[in-house]
Structure 1
Amino acid sequence: MTKIVYEIVEHDGGWAYKLDDVFSETFDSKEQATAAANDVAARQQVSGESETIQYQDEDGVWREEDEAGDDRPDVEVRDAKS
């Protein structure tokens, strides 16, 4: 199972959440950034319909897979200083 970790960090004069090196918009408070990250994390848990997907892998080969709509990642929100 995939694990996604959103970190709450100081950013651009305020607070943001980030995933890897990508930052959200800047919020006025740490609490607002945490609430926004928790909202995004909750939406990651919503199941969808199963579908067949097509994608190009790192070698340029096209692949096709059936993806289950209930295969959701494990999501965590944490303070980057933790």
Structure 2
Amino acid sequence: MTDITYIIVEHDGGWAYKVGDTFSETFPSHEAALKAAKRAAGEQELPGETEGIIYEDKQAVWRQEVSAGDDRPTTHVRDAK
């Protein structure tokens, strides 16, 4: 199973959460960013339907996969403050 960590960081004059190298939108307060990260982390763990997905990888190659609705990651929220 995959682990995903949402990290609360200062970003672009405000606060954001970061997953890997990707930042969320900028929030006006630390508390707002923390709340959004907790919500996103919780939603990430919810089961869904098994579906086909298409995405572009880092090498700009389009990929097709089947995403099992019950194969959800474990999430964590870490505050870098």
Q: Could you say whether these structures have the same fold, taking a TM-score greater than 0.5 normalized by the shorter chain as the test?
A: yes
Gaps of 5+ in 1: none
User: Which TM-score applies when normalising by structure 1?
Assistant: 0.76
Identity of aligned residues (%): 60
Q: Deviations over 1:6-56 (max 9, x none)?
A: 10001111100001111111111110000001111111011112346678x
1:37 equivalent to 2:37? Answer yes
Counterparts in 2 of 1:63 and 1:8: CA distance versus 1, 3 Å: closer
Q: CA RMSD in A?
A: 2.5
Ranges of 4+ aligned residues in structure 1 off by more than 6 Å: none
Instruction: Give the conservation status (yes or no) of the 8 Å contact 2:51–2:67.
Output: yes
SS at match of 2:36: helix
Match of 2:11 in 1: 11
Gaps of 5+ in 2: none
CA–CA distance in structure 2, aligned partners of residues 76 and 40 of structure 1: 10
Structure with max Cα Rg:
1
